[in-house]
Structure 1
Amino acid sequence: MLFAHTLASSARCMHSGYALARWYERHRGEAKGSQRDNKWYAFFNGRLARGDLLEELVDLFPVLQPILDSPLWLSLTEEHGRRIDWEAAILAEREGKRLRVFSQPKLAAFAACPEWYRLGLLLMLLRTTSAWYALHRLWVSKNISVYVQMTCLAPPLSHISSELYRRLGELTSKGCFGIPAIPFWPANEREFRRNLRFLKLLAGRAVQKGWVPEVKPGAYLLLWILFGFDVEYRLRLVDRLRRRRWEFQIGCPSLVRYRLQVVRKAYLKSRFVK
């Protein structure tokens, strides 16, 4: 499903099976209607292209390869009769080795600007069972709700945000994450979508008011650190951000500017650690 949406975005066509079929016909110089629409509709329902077609599409749009290689799909797998060694799965990932030894500052820097391609590793940490990863699980369980919602603000996960919300709810209800409920998880899909709209609003206002120079990573880092403040101070900051541009302007507080500088530096450093 995510593969199909990313393909449609790369091909600059509408996100539908019909539009993708017509695009592929034009790409191949085929007559209109030569491609079966049902095959392309199926890609938006979770079926993946196979064989020569898959190779052709990935060669045409290399951005599709990270979608295929993402650990997110394994992290969303329900174990049917076979046990997955989540610790080994984490260490098999390039960035997973960095998370083996718990370090709150390093883990916080790793998650500071929620990225969709890092979500799978965090969910894997939540699914571990050994005592070695106990502190990891505790930290991730407290922060995963905000992380998921922020990764759904932009493509590619914005295309499947509702499906992701439902899938995580299913896995949680079946005990796959080892906790009865994800802390601070939206009660229903309507609340989930409302949260996404509000976070987008705050991110846009942060740029408009000059608190940060860009949406990503700037506004994402700002939203992330907001949740680290106590509730009263956080609400005051949110109130400042949600005011419209033409209303009384209040600059970014010095404490927030300092935290932003520290978090931005740590986050950028985390992206280049091998």
Structure 2
Amino acid sequence: MSDNKTVGQLRAMFFAHTLAELAGFAPTGPAITRWGNAWWARRTGRALPDPLNHKWADYLTGRLPRSDVRAALIEDFPILQTVLDDPLWPLLQRLLHPLEDTGCWAMQLRLNGRVFYYFSAGRLVRLCGVPNWRRLAGLLALLGSERTEDYWSHVWLRRVLTDYVLCACLDLPGRIDPLDLYVLLEEAYRLGKFGRVSDWPNTRASFQYQLSRFQRLRRRLQARGWLQGWGFSERLLFWRLLGNRNALARLLTSAPAVSLTRGDLVSQARHWVRQAQRDHVSFAEAAPGAWRWCDSSRGHTQPFAWVIPRS
């Protein structure tokens, strides 16, 4: 069982494990050491060091590369910068502070450039999109809001958050232990930042059991021919089926047949897929001093750099 990680360590782990996926090496200590030393030798024109630099393995467990190495990695793999800049990390830091006001995050949340001023189940479905860790910040920002106008959005999100987190944990980068993410979310939950969430696992064992159940559901749907592979469309279809337990039960006990084929299922989901591909979740930028909706006396945290426009 993994030790508890800080937000900063988890951010560094996501960086390294995403690198493993992009560069095509196994997310293990020996593999990243071999790849990292060979890559650095090519970048610098030097011979492979002897002995090898084994600090690379530490990156997989929560240590960020030093600035020059990190800049070079980002130059070769630009998506790594988006991992570091993901709003999930500063949002988690704020949620884990007992006193912080999180209303500013809901005010900055945008779906296709539009704010969330009122309850709309349709917009919340689109906010969820395809379950992925990169979408978690949007859900948590709205759920952690203290604005009264978000009450009904909270009611809706509390019904789906557990399933969403479990689905997102099916696709974490590399071999990141989902427990590391769960532990931080559980800490925020115990601070009361999300209210009372349906079926929330209150222990690590409960979380692992529920995640194993989702993995079994996925395998059964794949074995029966309803899901082929695990791409964008398959993940979205799996998520939508979780919200329709009658349909899910029917598919789990039958294989595609004349009366209902996989083509029928894909056809019904085509609109969902097109919509999810078009939707874009973001947070509006806000300059220092423009935080009228936040109570700056609670927690005394400075505005996060990622929402300050670059000069």
Task: Tell me which interval the TM-score lies in, with the shorter structure as reference length.
Answer: 0.7 to 0.9
Shift of 1:222: 3.1
1:244 match: none
Distance in 2, Cα, partners of 1:92 & 1:100: 9
Alignment of 1:86-105 (within 5 A): 86-92=102-108, 95=111, 97-98=113-114, 100-101=116-117, 102-105=119-122
1:211 match: 226
1:8 match: 20
Which of 73, 91, 94 aligns to 1:75? It is 91
Distance in 1, Cα, partners of 2:71 & 2:100: 31
One-letter amino acid of the counterpart of residue 23, structure 2: A
Which of 197, 203, 209 aligns to 2:212? It is 197
Distance in 1, Cα, partners of 2:20 & 2:171: 15
TM-score by length of 1: 0.78
1:58 match: 74
Distance in 2, Cα, partners of 1:211 & 1:123: 31
1:269 aligned to 2:282?
Answer: no
1:140 aligned to 2:157?
Answer: yes
Alignment of 1:1-274 (within 5 A): 1-29=13-41, 30-35=48-53, 37=54, 39-77=55-93, 78-80=95-97, 83-84=100-101, 86-92=102-108, 95=111, 97-98=113-114, 100-101=116-117, 102-156=119-173, 159-177=176-194, 179=195, 181-229=196-244, 233=246, 236-237=249-250, 239-240=252-253, 249=255, 251=257, 261=267, 263-273=269-279
Secondary structure, counterpart of 1:159 in structure 2:
coil
Where relative contact order (Cα < 8 A, 6+ residues apart) is larger, the structure is 2
Distance in 2, Cα, partners of 1:210 & 1:268: 22
Shift of 1:158: 5.9
Distance in 1, Cα, partners of 2:234 & 2:258: 12
CA separation of 1:113 and 1:254: change in aligned 2, threshold 3 A: farther
Shift of 1:67: 1.0
Greater displacement, 15-24 / 49-58: 15-24
Shift of 1:100: 1.1
Shift of 1:259: 7.7
Distance in 2, Cα, partners of 1:13 & 1:32: 21
Shift of 1:186: 2.7
CA separation of 1:12 and 1:228: change in aligned 2, threshold 3 A: closer
Distance in 2, Cα, partners of 1:50 & 1:175: 36
Shift of 1:118: 0.7
Shift of 1:87: 4.0
CA separation of 1:98 and 1:206: change in aligned 2, threshold 3 A: farther
Deviation per residue, 1:92-150 (Å, 9 max, x gap)? 46648445133211211332421221111101111100012222222111111000000
Distance in 2, Cα, partners of 1:128 & 1:59: 36
One-letter amino acid of the counterpart of residue 65, structure 1: Q
CA separation of 1:33 and 1:140: change in aligned 2, threshold 3 A: farther
Greater displacement, 87-96 / 64-73: 87-96
Among the aligned pairs, what percent are the same residue? Answer: 27
CA separation of 1:21 and 1:256: change in aligned 2, threshold 3 A: closer
Counting helix residues as a fraction of each chain, which structure ranks higher?
1
Measured on the aligned residues, the alpha-carbon RMSD in Å equals 3.2
CA separation of 1:81 and 1:122: change in aligned 2, threshold 3 A: closer
2:301 match: none
> Would the aligned equivalents of 1:206 and 1:219 in 2 still touch at CA under 8 Å?
no
> Would the aligned equivalents of 2:131 and 2:235 in 1 still touch at CA under 8 Å?
yes
Residues matched between the structures, number: 260
> Would the aligned equivalents of 2:27 and 2:175 in 1 still touch at CA under 8 Å?
no
Q: Tell me, which stretches of 5 or more residues in structure 2 are unaligned?
A: 1-12, 42-47, 281-311
